[in-house]
C-alpha cells in the first residue's frame, strides 16, 4: 500500500506541475505514517488508505503555480502594440520621422526574426499559436518596411526630399518635395503607404488576451473539480 500512496502522490504532483522531489518525499512519508497508524488502530486497509491521502490534494494545490500557455504570445503582442503606438506618435514629436521609421522598422524585423529562430530552436517549450503570432507580426512589419524603406533610405537629394506622417489607423503618408536651384521646397506629391502594424498587433492582443482569460478560468475549474 505504501507504493500505491507513493504513486498517487507522484501522479497528483505531476498533474499540478509541482516538481519538488523533497516535498514529494515529505508528503509520501507523512501519508505512509498516517496509513500505518490507521492500520494499528484496526482500520481496514482501504479506509486507512483514504484517510492517509485525505489532505494531499489541498497541500499540493497550494504549492502549484499554474502557467498559462498563452503567456509568451501575450508578451509578444503587448510589445508589438507598444512599438506600433510609438510609430503612431513619432511623426508628431520628431522633425524627420521618416529617418526613425527606416531605423525602427529594421530593428523590429530583426528582433522578430531572432525570436522566431529562438522558439524554433526551443520548439518543445512553445506552442503552434506562438509561431502564428510571430509570423503574422513579422509579415506586417516586413510589409511596412518594404513600402516605407524605399523613401526612408533616400531622404536627401539635391532637389528632392521626402517626409512622412502617420495617418491613423493603417497608413503612413509619404510627402515628396521638390525645389529648383536651391530655392524653397514645394510639395510635389502625397502617397499613402499601408501600415497594418497597429491593427495587427491590437487584434492579436485581443485574441490572445481572450484565450488567456479562458485558460485561467479553465484551470480554476479543473482545480475546483478535483477530488480525492
* pLDDT tens digit sequence for 43-101: 888 888 888 888 888 888 777 665 678 889 999 999 999 999 988 888 778 778 888 88
pLDDT given at position 214: 84
Q: Are 170 and 195 in contact (CB under 8 A)?
A: yes
Question: Is the per-residue pLDDT at 210 higher than 70?
Answer: yes
CA–CA gap between residue 220 and residue 16 (Å, rounded): 12
Is the predicted pLDDT of residue 23 greater than 60, yes or no?
A: yes
pTM of the model: 0.65
C-alpha cell at position 155 = 531622404
In the chain, beta strands by DSSP E: 160-167, 171-178, 186-194
- What is the predicted pLDDT for the residue at 79? 95
Closest CA to 112 of 86, 134, 91: 134
Cβ(155)–Cβ(126) below 8 Å: no
Locate 15 and state its grid cell: 498533474
Q: Lowest mean pLDDT: which of 19-28, 53-62, 115-124, 217-226?
A: 217-226
Residue with cell 503567456: 71
CA angle 117, 120, 126 (to 5 degrees): 125
What pLDDT score was predicted for residue 82?
94
At 109 the pLDDT is: 95
pLDDT of residue 228: 38
Residue 105 has pLDDT above 70, yes or no: yes
Among the listed residues 205, 203, 204, 198, the one whose alpha carbon sits nearest the alpha carbon of residue 90: 198
Q: Which three three-digit cell numbers place residue 197? A: 502594424
Q: Which residue has the cell 521646397?
A: 185
| Structure confidence by residue, pLDDT tens digits, 133-192 | 999 999 999 999 999 888 888 756 778 888 888 887 788 888 888 888 778 888 888 888
Average pLDDT over residues 120-138: 91
Query: What is the pLDDT confidence band of residue 227, given thresholds at 50, 70 and 90?
Result: very low
Helix (H) or strand (E) holding 137: helix 128-152
E strand or H helix that includes residue 62: helix 56-63
Q: Rounded distance, CA 180 to CA 159, Å?
A: 6
- Reported residue count of the chain is 228
75 versus 216: the higher-pLDDT residue is: 75
If we measure between CA atoms, which residue out of 95, 12, 4 comes closest to residue 52? Answer: 4
Amino acid at each position: 500500500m505504501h507504493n500505491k500512496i507513493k504513486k498517487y502522490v507522484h501522479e497528483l504532483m505531476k498533474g499540478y506541475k509541482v516538481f519538488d522531489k523533497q516535498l514529494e518525499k515529505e508528503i509520501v512519508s507523512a501519508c505512509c505514517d498516517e496509513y500505518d497508524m490507521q492500520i494499528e488502530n484496526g482500520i481496514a486497509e482501504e479506509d486507512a488508505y483514504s484517510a492517509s491521502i485525505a489532505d494531499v490534494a489541498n497541500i499540493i494545490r497550494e504549492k502549484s503555480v499554474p502557467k498559462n500557455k498563452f503567456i509568451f504570445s501575450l508578451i509578444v503582442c503587448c510589445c508589438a502594440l507598444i512599438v506600433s503606438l510609438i510609430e503612431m506618435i513619432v511623426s508628431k514629436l520628431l522633425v524627420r520621422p521618416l529617418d526613425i521609421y527606416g531605423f525602427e522598422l529594421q530593428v523590429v524585423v530583426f528582433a522578430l526574426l531572432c525570436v522566431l529562430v529562438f522558439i524554433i530552436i526551443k520548439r518543445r517549450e512553445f506552442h503552434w499559436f506562438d509561431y502564428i503570432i510571430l509570423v503574422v507580426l513579422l509579415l506586417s512589419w516586413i510589409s511596412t518596411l518594404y513600402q516605407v524603406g524605399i523613401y526612408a533610405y533616400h531622404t536627401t537629394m539635391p532637389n528632392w526630399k521626402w517626409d512622412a506622417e502617420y495617418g491613423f489607423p493603417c497608413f503612413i503618408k509619404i510627402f515628396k518635395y521638390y525645389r529648383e536651384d536651391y530655392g524653397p521646397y514645394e510639395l510635389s506629391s502625397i502617397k499613402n503607404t499601408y501600415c497594418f502594424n497597429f491593427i495587427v498587433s491590437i487584434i492579436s492582443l485581443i485574441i490572445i488576451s481572450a484565450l488567456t482569460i479562458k485558460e485561467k478560468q479553465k484551470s480554476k475549474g479543473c482545480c475546483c473539480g478535483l477530488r480525492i
